Amino acid sequence: METRNKLLLLACATFSIISFVKSQNQQGFISLDCGLPSNESPYNEPLTNLTYISDVNFIRGGKTGNIKISAETDLVGKPFKVLRYFPDGTRNCYSLSVKQGTKYLIRTMFLYGNYDGLNTSPRFDLYLGPNIWKSVDVLISGIGDGVVEEIIHITKSDILEICLVKTGTSTPMISAIELRPLRYDTYTTRTGSLMNIAHLYFLNSDKIIRYPKDVYDRVWTPYLQQEWTHINTTLNVSGSPDGYDAPRDVITTAAIPTNVSEPFSFTWNLEASDDETYIYLYFAEIQRLQPNETREFEIAANGKVYISYSPMNFEEDTLFNPAPLKCEGGVCLLKLSKTPKSNLPPLLNAIELFSVIQFPQSETNRDDVNAIKNIQSTYQLSRISWQGDPCVPKQFSWNGLSCNVIDISTPPRIIALDLSSSGLTGVIPPSIQNLSLLRELDLSNNNLTGEVPEFLAKMKSLLVINFRGNNLRGFVPQALLEREKDGLKLYVDENNKPRGSSEPRSRLVAIVAASISSAAVVIIVLVLIFIFRRRRSSTRKVMRPSLEMKNRRFTYSEVKEMTSNFKVVLGKGGFGIVYHGFLNNEQVAVKVLSQSSTQGYKEFKTEVELLLRVHHVNLVSLVGYCDEGNDLALIYEFMEYGNLREHLSGKRGGSVLNWSGRLKITIESALGIEYLHIGCKPPMVHRDVKSTNILLGRQFEAKLADFGLSRSFLVGSQTHVSTNVAGTLGYLDPEYYKKNWLTEKSDVYSFGIVLLEIITGQHVIEQSRDKSYIVEWAISMISNGDIESIMDPNLHQDYDTGSSWKALELAMSCINPCSTERPNMTRVAHELNECLEIYENLRKRRSQGSNSTKSLVDSITSISDTPSAR
Which residues contact residue 698 at a Cβ distance below 8 angstroms, ignoring those fewer than 6 apart?
A: 541, 542, 543, 640, 641
- Residue pair 144/73 in contact (Cβ under 8 Å)? The answer is yes
* 129 or 257: CB nearest ligand NAG: 257
- The catalytic position among 688, 747, 792, 800 is 688
261 binds ligand NAG (CB under 6 A): yes
Does the active-site annotation cover 137?
A: no
* 124 or 211: CB nearest ligand NAG: 211
| C-alpha distance from residue 336 to each of 53, 311, 318, 728 (Å) | 44, 12, 15, 43
For the bound state, the minimum distance from the C-beta of residue 471 to ligand NAG, rounded and expressed in Å, comes to 6
Buried b (16+ CB within 10 A) or exposed e, 71-99: eebeebbbbbbbbbbbeebbbbbbbbebe
Q: Which of residues 319-348 bind ligand NAG (CB under 6 A)?
A: 343
For the bound state, the minimum distance from the C-beta of residue 293 to ligand NAG, rounded and expressed in Å, comes to 5
- Residue pair 404/413 in contact (Cβ under 8 Å)? The answer is yes
Number of chain positions touching ligand NAG (CB under 6 A): 24
- Count of Cβ atoms closer than 10 Å to residue 803 Cβ: 24
Residue 134, sorted as left (phi over 0), alpha (psi -120 to 50) or beta, turns out to be beta
Four-residue CA torsion sign, 857, 859, 860, 864:
positive
For the bound state, the minimum distance from the C-beta of residue 267 to ligand NAG, rounded and expressed in Å, comes to 18
Which residues contact residue 567 at a Cβ distance below 8 angstroms, ignoring those fewer than 6 apart?
A: 579, 580
Helix, strand, or coil (residue 366): helix
Residue 685, sorted as left (phi over 0), alpha (psi -120 to 50) or beta, turns out to be beta
Q: Which residue type sits at 765?
A: I
Among 38, 49, 120, 546, binds ligand NAG (CB under 6 A): 49
| Residue range at the interface with ligand NAG (CB under 6 A); choices 254-262, 278-286, 396-404, 500-508 | 254-262
* 212 or 654: CB nearest ligand NAG: 212
- Residue pair 711/721 in contact (Cβ under 8 Å)? The answer is yes
In whole angstroms, what is the distance from residue 758 CA to residue 663 CA?
Answer: 8
- Residue pair 726/688 in contact (Cβ under 8 Å)? The answer is yes
426 binds ligand NAG (CB under 6 A): no
434 binds ligand NAG (CB under 6 A): yes
Per-residue x/- mask for ligand NAG, residues 376 to 415, rule CB under 6 A? Answer: ----------------------------------------
* 235 or 857: CB nearest ligand NAG: 235
Query: What are phi and psi for residue 458, nearest 5 degrees?
Result: -85, -10
| Residue range at the interface with ligand NAG (CB under 6 A); choices 27-35, 44-52, 489-497, 703-711 | 44-52
In whole angstroms, what is the distance from residue 356 CA to residue 196 CA?
Answer: 9
In whole angstroms, what is the distance from residue 242 CA to residue 9 CA?
Answer: 12
* 249 or 701: CB nearest ligand NAG: 249
For the bound state, the minimum distance from the C-beta of residue 470 to ligand NAG, rounded and expressed in Å, comes to 9
For the bound state, the minimum distance from the C-beta of residue 405 to ligand NAG, rounded and expressed in Å, comes to 21
In whole angstroms, what is the distance from residue 369 CA to residue 428 CA?
Answer: 18
The β-bridge relationship of strands 228-232 and 253-257 is antiparallel
315 binds ligand NAG (CB under 6 A): no
Among 42, 430, 474, 498, binds ligand NAG (CB under 6 A): 430
For the bound state, the minimum distance from the C-beta of residue 434 to ligand NAG, rounded and expressed in Å, comes to 4
167 binds ligand NAG (CB under 6 A): no
Q: Which of residues 640-669 bind ligand NAG (CB under 6 A)?
A: none
Among 19, 97, 141, 290, binds ligand NAG (CB under 6 A): 290
* 44 or 358: CB nearest ligand NAG: 44
431 binds ligand NAG (CB under 6 A): yes
Is there a binding annotation on residue 591?
Answer: yes
- Residue pair 639/695 in contact (Cβ under 8 Å)? The answer is yes
293 binds ligand NAG (CB under 6 A): yes
421 binds ligand NAG (CB under 6 A): no
Strand ranges (DSSP E) for 287-442?
Answer: 297-301, 304-309, 317-320, 325-326, 331-338, 350-357, 401-404, 413-418, 425-426, 440-442
Helix, strand, coil share (%) of the chain residues, nearest 5:
25, 25, 45
Among 45, 158, 227, 262, binds ligand NAG (CB under 6 A): 262
- Residue pair 385/89 in contact (Cβ under 8 Å)? The answer is yes
In whole angstroms, what is the distance from residue 666 CA to residue 485 CA?
Answer: 40
Per-residue x/- mask for ligand NAG, residues 19 to 38, rule CB under 6 A? Answer: -------x------------
For the bound state, the minimum distance from the C-beta of residue 290 to ligand NAG, rounded and expressed in Å, comes to 5
474 binds ligand NAG (CB under 6 A): no
Number of DSSP helices (H) and strands (E) in the chain, helices first = 17, 44
For the bound state, the minimum distance from the C-beta of residue 128 to ligand NAG, rounded and expressed in Å, comes to 23
For the bound state, the minimum distance from the C-beta of residue 765 to ligand NAG, rounded and expressed in Å, comes to 45
Per-residue x/- mask for ligand NAG, residues 207 to 236, rule CB under 6 A? Answer: -----x-------------------x--xx
Per-residue x/- mask for ligand NAG, residues 359 to 378, rule CB under 6 A? Answer: --------x--xx--x----
For the bound state, the minimum distance from the C-beta of residue 14 to ligand NAG, rounded and expressed in Å, comes to 24
Among 167, 421, 447, 784, binds ligand NAG (CB under 6 A): 447
| C-alpha distance from residue 679 to each of 36, 259, 361, 609 (Å) | 51, 58, 19, 16
Query: What are phi and psi for residue 583, nearest 5 degrees?
Result: -135, 115
* 426 or 867: CB nearest ligand NAG: 426
In the complex, which residues of this chain contact ligand NAG (CB under 6 A)? Answer: 26, 44, 49, 51, 203, 212, 232, 235-236, 259, 261-262, 290, 292-293, 343, 367, 370-371, 374, 430-431, 434, 447
Detail the residues annotated as belonging to a binding site for ATP. 591
User: What are the catalytic residues?
Assistant: 688
